[in-house]
Amino acid sequence: MTAIRIYHNPQCGTSRNVLALIRHAGIEPDIVDYLKTPPDRATLLALMSALQMSPRQLLRRKGTPFEALGLDDTTLTDDALVEAMMAHPILMERPIVVSPKGVRLCRPSETVLELLPAGPLPPFSKEDGEVVIGEDGRRVG
């Protein structure tokens, strides 16, 4: 079995679809509900490094206190943005998946297929019915 970790928000449809795809591949991942157990500073910085993303790129705007905190101020330092994410984990874009094949921000959800072991998978559709893996076992789209 492959060791995979997902930084997951169970309230997010994309995150639920990514988790379902991982499980569909026969893998039970280590699930980190990052709203309840946020990554510490070192882990957050390591994730950003592995993603090759800056703190500003990892900030989630929709459904967060982004505007209320004035995080659209381009003069804010990376350190200030990291501090904001640590104080308000909802600001961290999700889901992030860590696997032996790499680290990805899995938006859209089918991005996670790049991190799963190779091989055909049974057909799979997202919660909304969108087909991700067709009858032939191949990624659709």
Is 34 among the domain residues? yes
* Tally of domains within the chain: 1
Return the closest-CA partner of residue 77 out of 95, 54, 100, 52: 54
- Of the residues 12, 25, 112, 115, only one is catalytic, namely 12
Asked whether the predicted pLDDT for residue 141 surpasses 90, the reply is no
Is 89 among the domain residues? yes
Return the closest-CA partner of residue 47 out of 77, 87, 85: 85
Domain hosting residue 92, numbered range: 5-133
Please give the distance of CA 89 from its chain centroid, rounded to a whole number. Answer: 13
Q: Tell me how many degrees the CA angle 29-94-17 measures, rounded to the nearest 5.
A: 55
- Known catalytic membership, residue 106: no
pLDDT in tens, 58-87: 999 999 999 999 999 999 999 999 999 999
The CATH number assigned to the domain holding 31 equals 3.40.30.10
pLDDT in tens, 26-40: 999 999 999 999 999
Q: How many CB atoms lie within 10 A of CB 119?
A: 8
